[in-house]
A = this chain, B = another copy of it.
Amino acid sequence: MKLAKLAESTSATIERGSPDLDITSTAGLDIAGEGDITFLANPKYIHQIKETKASAIYLNAGIEIGRDDIAVLRVKDSYLSYTRAMRLFFPDPEIEPFIHPTAVIHPSADVARYVEIHANVVVGANCTIAAGVRIMPNTTLYNDVSVGENSVIDSGVSIRAHCEVGRNCVIQNNATIGSDGFGYARDENGRWLKIPQTGRVVLEDDVEIGANSAIDCASVGETRIRRGTKIDNLVQIGHSCSVDEDALICAQTGLAGSSHIGKRVILAGQVGIAGHLKVGDDAVVTAQAAAAQDVPEGKMIGGPGLDNLVWIRVVSVFKRLSDVVKTVRSLERRVSEIEKRQD
């Protein structure tokens, strides 16, 4: 790709270098070679500039690299522009439409012509599969599932009855969408009586679900993951939760039932969110932290539901804590001694 074309496609201005320069791939500063475009986002890597063999680089405003043998594309956000370049050089593979003869598709299913349905996929009654969808081997769709345009469902996935997957979604391997929620009432003999889980899961457009994650259907109504939210591997979303647009939920995080996660919220890895909570828009819950109460908009939480700065201070105090306790004991003795003398 010519530099001029690349600049145009990634909202960049050519500051140095020939518009006709051929760019053939993308690579990080340290491993880039001739023909590669690279980027510098984090100033801590600026020392790699001297050594890089890249042919071109994305730079934010104000950053100078002190070399004039590398073409410079000036941009607002070099990481974002570089990501766009990567997407140009490593596009998703095109659909090569086919339905494998071993796929078991119920005659009542409505399957577009331009789809890939791989070996041993099972598609239940009344399912709808839109154009551009790819379903990898050994995946199961129960009855009445719909999958929107250009979504990719990897191998080993289960999507249960009545669930809905939007457009441009990705559901990775062995994920479960629409499992029964964990709801039981205790009977007179202390035994657990299962509460019917009659709802479903809706994934809106541009949602991604990581490998081996489980999204429970609602007990009644919908568990809904809204447009653009990305969910990592091994995440648990309990029944009747909702996650609003553009949230990021990292690996091994769990949401108990009926919690509501706001727009652009970030839940880091191994976070726990109790049931029936509201996490406000733009809140952040740091790794391994827990929220047992509502989290206000924009708030950052750390540890056992604390303000993150408080938690950081608490951890820094831990190292001295047993010394502090000893000091308190010794102070008690000294003060008692002083009081005795005063009396």
**Cβ-defined contact, A84 with B193, below 8 A:** yes
Q: Place the interface of chain A in its size category.
A: 35 or more
Q: Which residue of B228, B251, B256 is within 8 Å of A238 (Cβ)? A: B251
Query: Contacts A28-B220, A90-B198, A187-B80; is A172 near B182 (CB within 8 Å)?
Result: no
A234 within 8 A of B: yes
CB 8 Å contact bits of A170-195 with B (1 = contact, 0 = none): 10111110011010111110111111
**Cβ-defined contact, B232 with A251, below 8 A:** no
A321 within 8 A of B: yes
Report the minimum CB–CB distance from A304 to chain B (whole Å): 5
**Cβ-defined contact, A228 with B191, below 8 A:** yes
A55 within 8 A of B: no
Bound: A49/B188 CA distance, A: 26
A310 within 8 A of B: yes
Query: Contacts A185-B83, A317-B325, A332-B331; is A176 near B156 (CB within 8 Å)?
Result: yes
Closest to A251 in B: B236
Flag the segment in A1-9, A15-23, A59-67, A335-343 that touches B: A335-343
Query: Contacts A138-B140, A335-B334; is A174 near B156 (CB within 8 Å)?
Result: yes
Bound: A254/B250 CA distance, A: 10
Q: Which residue of B87, B194, B250 is within 8 Å of A256 (Cβ)? A: B250
Bound: A193/B118 CA distance, A: 27
Q: Which residues 253-300 of A sit at the B interface, judged by CB distance below 8 A?
A: 254, 256, 264, 269-270, 272, 274, 287-288, 290, 292
Query: Contacts A212-B213, A272-B270; is A246 near B191 (CB within 8 Å)?
Result: yes
**Cβ-defined contact, B269 with A269, below 8 A:** no
**Cβ-defined contact, B228 with A254, below 8 A:** no
Report the minimum CB–CB distance from A61 to chain B (whole Å): 15
A314 within 8 A of B: yes
A162 within 8 A of B: no
Report the minimum CB–CB distance from A292 to chain B (whole Å): 7
Bound: A83/B339 CA distance, A: 65
Q: List 20 A-B contacts (CB under 8 A).
A: A100-B104, A104-B120, A120-B122, A142-B155, A156-B156, A156-B157, A173-B179, A176-B211, A192-B246, A236-B252, A250-B256, A252-B254, A287-B290, A311-B318, A317-B321, A317-B322, A324-B325, A328-B328, A328-B331, A334-B335
Residues of A within 8 A of B (CB): 27-28, 31, 76-77, 79-80, 82-84, 86-87, 90, 100, 102, 104, 118-120, 122, 136-140, 142, 154-158, 160, 170, 172-176, 179-180, 182, 184-188, 190-196, 198, 206, 208, 210-214, 216, 220-221, 228, 230, 232-234, 236, 238, 246, 248, 250-252, 254, 256, 264, 269-270, 272, 274, 287-288, 290, 292, 303-306, 310-311, 313-322, 324-325, 327-328, 331-332, 334-335, 338-339, 341-342
